[in-house]
Structure 1
Amino acid sequence: MEDYNKIIESLGVKFHKSKNVKILQSLNISNFYDVENTILILNKGELRFGEEQELVKEGEMLFIPGGKSVNVTFGSNPVESLSNDEYMSRKEEFFKGFHYSELEDTVSENFSLVNFEAKVFDSVNFFTSLDLPPFIIHKSDRLTTIIRTIIKENVSELAGSERVVKINTDYLVVEIVRYIIKNRLFVEQLATNSTYFKDPRLIDIFAYIKENLNGDLSNKVLANVANVSEDYVGQYFKMLTGINPQDYIEYQRMEKAVQLLRTTKKSIRDIGKEVGYKDTAYFCRRFKMMFGIPAGKMRRRESLMNV
């Protein structure tokens, strides 16, 4: 338990968005995806996910770790199945946000969600690094209260609302971790993938990559950071994380690119350079391969939270 306490203390948690959403028309999104973590609570209706279309019941939650693509069906008897890209250009047909005060009165199928990041030493996505799949959180009064509080405070004009949102987002992450441990979920993944959080050399690599995304991140450079041989650094990194360092670096670069696309007006060319791609065309190809949509559409789109 002490190890989990250390990991939790190392997490940098950041709130992104929250929303109550009415389902205007049922649909299936074949590859729902977001860089940040998403937790959905089904208030009314049906929600299914995964290849087996596992049912989320009313009052239950679906947790989708950042970076995980998942098949999600919103509502009963969907008439259409869309890719995430297709959905983004037609989202107004299917979803509509509504105010917190309407939650108890709405007769439509609906859900609430919170979108957030949780990074170990502000460097690596915690839940993604554990390789956790999307999963159901069965009825939890604590998590329900936290989600409702975040959504309510996020639109509040009361003094301190931003602080309340921040505190409750921290609490949200702790409760998700506690739920996983209490219910002994993903025991093998936790045992295998949490060990590297204890290795200071690997933490140094994470921190260096974060600060130098637009620079030279070859294995030779990483070997110097970790004080291991160039021949060994790739094996060392993969042994502890399950992926090779260059795949991890590309994910971090693309994650940063998404953040810049969403929050700045910088050109796609400049963003590509800022995250380490001198060739804009190559950056765009890799971006589409990873996210399934062009970088330009990622910039123009609003995510599910903005319906």
Structure 2
Amino acid sequence: MEDYNKIIESLGVKFKKAKNIKILQPLSISNFYDVDNTIIILNKGEIRFGENNEKVKEGQILFVPGGRMMPIHYGQGKGDSLTNDDFITRKGDYFKSFHYSELEDTVSENYSYITFEAKVFDSVNFFNSLDIPPFIIEKSDRITQIMRTMLKENVSELAGSERVVKINTEYLVVEVVRYIIKNRLFVEQLATNSTYFKDPRLIDIFSYIKENLSGDLSNKILANVANVSEDYVGQYFKMLTGINPQDYIEYQRMEKAVNLLRTTKKSIREIGKEVGYKDTAYFCRRFKMMFGIPAGKMRRRESLMNI
């Protein structure tokens, strides 16, 4: 348990977004994806997810680690089937956000969601790094209460509402981790993938990558950072994390690119250069390959209905 406490203490948690959503008509998204962690509570209706079309029941909570692509279906009935790319430009046809005060009164199928970031040493996406799949949290009064508080405070005009949301985001992460441990979920993944959080050389690599995304991040450079041989650094990194360093670096670069698209007006060329791609065309190809949509559409998604 001490190890889990150390990991939790190392987490940098950041609230991103909270919404209540009415499902206007059924919809399937074949490749749902978000870089942030998403936690959904189904208030009324039906949601199915994953390759096995697992059903979320009313009152249950679906947790989707950031960086995990999966199929998801909203609403009862078959409905339309879209790619994530198509959904971005048409989501107003299927979803409508509504105020927290209407939650008890709405008769439509609806759900509430919160997205947040949780990074170890502000470098590594915690839940994604554990390689755990999306999963259902059975009815949890504690997690439900935290989510309801966040959804209410997020639209409140009372003093300190932002602080309340921030504090409750941290509570939410702790409760999700506690739920996983208490129910002995993903035991093998936790045992295998949490060990590297304690390796100081690997943490040095993570920190260096984060601070130098626009620069040279070859295995030669990483070997110098970790004080191991160039021939060994790739094997060392993969042995502890399950992925090779260059794949990890590309994910970090693309994640930063998404954040810049969402929060700045920088051009695609400027963003590509800032995250380490001198060739804009190559950056755009890699971005679409990773997220399933062009970089320009990712930005447009944020400027459309913010659902």
Q: How is 1:1-307 mapped onto 2 (pairs within 5 angstroms)?
A: 1-302=1-302, 306-307=306-307
Per-residue CA shift, 1:148-177, capped at 9, x if unaligned?
111111111101000000000000000000
Unpaired runs of 5+ residues, structure 1, are none
TM-score normalised by the chain length of structure 1: 0.99
* SS of alignment partner, residue 165 of structure 1: helix
* SS of alignment partner, residue 302 of structure 1: helix
Per-residue CA shift, 1:251-270, capped at 9, x if unaligned?
00000000000000000000
Query: 1:52 Cα deviation (Å)?
Result: 1.0
Give the distance between the partners of 2:304 and 2:2, measured in 1 at CA.
37
Give the distance between the partners of 1:121 and 1:253, measured in 2 at CA.
17
Q: CA contact under 8 A between 2:28 and 2:72: conserved in structure 1?
A: yes
* SS of alignment partner, residue 15 of structure 1: strand
Give the distance between the partners of 2:109 and 2:234, measured in 1 at CA.
48
Per-residue CA shift, 1:61-91, capped at 9, x if unaligned?
1100000011110000032111111111110
TM-score normalised by the chain length of structure 2: 0.99
Per-residue CA shift, 1:35-83, capped at 9, x if unaligned?
0000000000001001111010000011000000111100000321111
Q: CA contact under 8 A between 2:48 and 2:74: conserved in structure 1?
A: yes
1:74 partner letter: Y
Give the distance between the partners of 1:57 and 1:237, measured in 2 at CA.
40
Give the distance between the partners of 2:275 and 2:21, measured in 1 at CA.
34
* SS of alignment partner, residue 222 of structure 1: helix
Query: 1:306 Cα deviation (Å)?
Result: 2.0
Q: CA contact under 8 A between 1:25 and 1:78: conserved in structure 2?
A: no
Give the distance between the partners of 2:273 and 2:126, measured in 1 at CA.
26
Q: CA contact under 8 A between 1:19 and 1:305: conserved in structure 2?
A: no
Give the distance between the partners of 1:304 and 1:222, measured in 2 at CA.
40
Percentage of matched positions with identical amino acids? 82
Give the distance between the partners of 2:304 and 2:64, measured in 1 at CA.
13
1:150 partner letter: M
Query: 1:19 Cα deviation (Å)?
Result: 0.3
1:86 partner letter: D
Q: CA contact under 8 A between 2:48 and 2:56: conserved in structure 1?
A: yes
Give the distance between the partners of 1:9 and 1:66, measured in 2 at CA.
20
1:13 partner letter: V
Q: CA contact under 8 A between 1:88 and 1:302: conserved in structure 2?
A: no
Query: 1:303 Cα deviation (Å)?
Result: 8.8
Unpaired runs of 5+ residues, structure 2, are none
Give the distance between the partners of 2:8 and 2:155, measured in 1 at CA.
28
Q: CA contact under 8 A between 2:36 and 2:115: conserved in structure 1?
A: yes
Give the distance between the partners of 2:294 and 2:146, measured in 1 at CA.
35
* SS of alignment partner, residue 106 of structure 1: coil
Q: CA contact under 8 A between 2:92 and 2:305: conserved in structure 1?
A: no
2:175 partner letter: E
* SS of alignment partner, residue 52 of structure 1: coil
Go from structure 1 to structure 2 and tell me whether the alpha carbon gap of 1:195 and 1:304 turns closer, same or farther (over 3 Å shift).
farther
Go from structure 1 to structure 2 and tell me whether the alpha carbon gap of 1:129 and 1:155 turns closer, same or farther (over 3 Å shift).
same
Go from structure 1 to structure 2 and tell me whether the alpha carbon gap of 1:63 and 1:304 turns closer, same or farther (over 3 Å shift).
farther
1:67 partner letter: G
1:166 partner letter: K
* SS of alignment partner, residue 128 of structure 2: helix
Root-mean-square deviation over aligned CA pairs: 1.0
Go from structure 1 to structure 2 and tell me whether the alpha carbon gap of 1:15 and 1:161 turns closer, same or farther (over 3 Å shift).
same
* SS of alignment partner, residue 302 of structure 2: coil
